[in-house]
């Protein structure tokens, strides 16, 4: 509370109003073009989510706590916010969301309830993609046609499509991470300090939804201009990070009644449970599940599941790719990302994106946590792909031949992605028709 009092004391009412307006301009459309892109995304995803919520029970079925499709925990997340050791503060957010949905639906977990959940997911994903467009336009300053191509490409990622109707932590983490990346990039580019209040809010909200992501909030701080040459700036950075950690830790411990020993016990349990490599070769699990399937949907496997009360139901998961074409697609995309990093090796904003991506690579590919369902973690990192592609286009903005080559390559990738994911989504609807009407 003292931080907010200090904020009010340091700023006049006019300055406070200006900052509030700037926050709204940052989050929501701030121009006719941005409004058009947002409304198109919101409408298309809204039609998809509304159709699923109206005709099927898969978005929320009170009998099915987890794994109805692609290992998402819809019912469990909506009712409790998920496990406290991985999602320490999401309990509070989903309490609010659930209460609102129940209020609108008259206390029933019916079609209206599912519609509210789907539309909030739709809003979060549409705003996330808007942040990608804003970053490409405001930070990288690419031509509109290239921005549009990259936004369309990202809009058809499997993560974007699936999270647009899925009430999950990843859905809102995607929005918060894209928002903070855009905001922090603006600050770094303008050679301004990231305010302590903004860092605290980002750390608590992003880390609160998924604890490992709090590390990503601190990455841009290290790239502020002249940080290690100015004691004041170092002091401000240390203080900001310290206050963020203290606020986060206190809220986290309060959530579990300060029984901190439970954190280590449950974390160890989760790691043992979700880090077994099983029969799939590690290279294939990494390439298919981690790098591939959060972008390009693969073939599906239907498995028998049951809840704690013995209720049996069908669950859908993704398998490794069965054709060589998706592997080529992913390898080309990864080569473009690597090319972008090498070409922009001196660019601080590119380093921020790559280091953020490395956090997830270490967790899932090296430590192997959740490697066989790592496609569900796409909300933590998939936004890095269109942004790094944007920086690659930027690096060759003065080379017409290379720029054209990149445009043609990404266009071909986009066309294949759209066709593949539409076909796979039609298979997903067959599964819904058979099991969740």
Same domain? For 21 and 93 the reply is no
Same domain? For 103 and 7 the reply is no
Check: CB of residue 167 under 8 Å from CB of residue 73: no
Same domain? For 6 and 94 the reply is no
Same domain? For 14 and 138 the reply is no
**Which DSSP state fits 270?**
H
Q: Which residue has the tokens 């077994």?
A: 276
pLDDT in tens, 119-139: 999 999 999 999 999 999 999
Residue among 113, 122, 137 nearest 39 (CA): 122
Tokens of 154: 């990202």
Number of domains in the chain: 2
Residue among 245, 188, 177 nearest 221 (CA): 188
**Which DSSP state fits 69?**
B
Tokens of 179: 């928002």
Check: CB of residue 142 under 8 Å from CB of residue 393: yes
- For the chain, give me the number of helices (H) and strands (E)? 18, 2
Rounded Cα distance between 149 and 404, Å, is 13
Stretch 283-295: mean pLDDT? 94
Tokens of 368: 């192997």
Same domain? For 82 and 24 the reply is no
Percentage of residues in the chain having pLDDT higher than 70: 93
Kind plus residue range of the DSSP H or E element containing 318: strand 312-318
- Whether the per-residue pLDDT at 169 is higher than 70: the answer is yes
Check: CB of residue 153 under 8 Å from CB of residue 410: yes
Tell me if the pTM is above 0.85. Answer: yes
Range of the domain at 19: 1-30
Residue among 335, 323, 347 nearest 424 (CA): 323
Same domain? For 2 and 55 the reply is no
Same domain? For 174 and 59 the reply is yes
Same domain? For 126 and 251 the reply is yes
Same domain? For 274 and 201 the reply is yes
Rounded Cα distance between 265 and 272, Å, is 11
Tokens of 188: 């770094």
Q: Which residue has the tokens 């449950």?
A: 266
pLDDT-wise least confident of 18-27, 61-70, 269-278, 348-357: 269-278
Rounded Cα distance between 425 and 62, Å, is 24
Same domain? For 263 and 160 the reply is yes
Check: CB of residue 273 under 8 Å from CB of residue 265: no
Same domain? For 231 and 329 the reply is yes
pLDDT in tens, 184-209: 999 999 999 999 999 999 999 999 99
3-state SS assignment for residue 313: strand
Percentage of residues in the chain having pLDDT higher than 90: 75
pLDDT-wise least confident of 119-133, 323-337, 357-371: 357-371
- Whether the per-residue pLDDT at 2 is higher than 50: the answer is no
Same domain? For 287 and 233 the reply is yes
What distance, in Å, lies between the first and last C-alpha atoms of the chain? 48
């Amino acid at each position: 509370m003292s931080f907010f009092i200090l904020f009010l004391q340091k700023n006049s009412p006019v300055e406070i109003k200006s900052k509030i307006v700037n926050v709204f301009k940052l989050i929501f459309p701030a121009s006719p073009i941005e409004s058009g892109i947002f409304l198109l995304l919101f409408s298309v995803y809204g039609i998809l989510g509304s159709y699923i919520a109206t005709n099927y029970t898969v978005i929320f079925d009170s009998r099915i706590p987890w794994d109805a499709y692609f290992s998402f925990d819809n019912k469990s997340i909506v009712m409790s916010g998920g496990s406290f050791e991985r999602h320490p503060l999401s309990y509070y957010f989903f309490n609010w969301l659930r209460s609102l949905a129940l209020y609108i639906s008259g206390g029933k977990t019916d079609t209206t309830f599912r519609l509210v959940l789907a539309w909030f997911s739709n809003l979060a994903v549409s705003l996330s993609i808007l942040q990608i467009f804003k970053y490409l336009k405001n930070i990288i300053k690419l031509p509109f046609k290239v921005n549009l191509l990259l936004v369309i490409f990202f809009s058809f990622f499997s993560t974007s499509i699936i999270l647009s109707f899925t009430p999950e932590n990843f859905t809102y983490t995607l929005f918060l991470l894209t928002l903070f990346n855009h905001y922090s990039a603006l600050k770094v580019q303008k050679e301004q300090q990231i305010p302590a209040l903004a860092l605290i809010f980002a750390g608590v909200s992003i880390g609160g939804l998924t604890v490992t992501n709090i590390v990503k909030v601190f990455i841009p701080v290290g790239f502020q201009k002249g940080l290690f040459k100015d004691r004041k700036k170092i002091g401000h950075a240390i203080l900001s990070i310290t206050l963020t950690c203290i606020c986060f830790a206190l809220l986290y411990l309060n959530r579990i009644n300060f029984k901190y020993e439970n954190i280590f016990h449950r974390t160890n349990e989760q790691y043992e449970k979700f880090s077994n490599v099983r029969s799939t070769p590690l290279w294939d699990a990494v390439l298919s599940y981690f790098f591939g399937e959060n972008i390009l949907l693969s073939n599906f496997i239907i498995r028998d599941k049951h809840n704690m009360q013995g209720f049996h139901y069908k669950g859908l998961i993704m398998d490794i790719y069965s054709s060589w074409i998706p592997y080529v697609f992913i390898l080309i995309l990864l080569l473009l990302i690597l090319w972008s990093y090498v070409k922009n090796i001196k660019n601080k904003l590119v380093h921020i994106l790559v280091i953020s991506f490395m956090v997830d690579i270490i967790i899932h590919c090296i430590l192997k946590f959740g490697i066989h369902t790592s496609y569900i973690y796409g909300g933590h990192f998939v936004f890095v792909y269109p942004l790094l592609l944007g920086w690659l286009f930027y690096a060759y903005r003065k080379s017409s031949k290379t720029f054209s080559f990149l445009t043609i390559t990404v266009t071909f990738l986009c066309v294949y992605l759209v066709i593949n994911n539409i076909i796979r989504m039609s298979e997903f609807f067959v599964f819904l028709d058979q099991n969740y009407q």
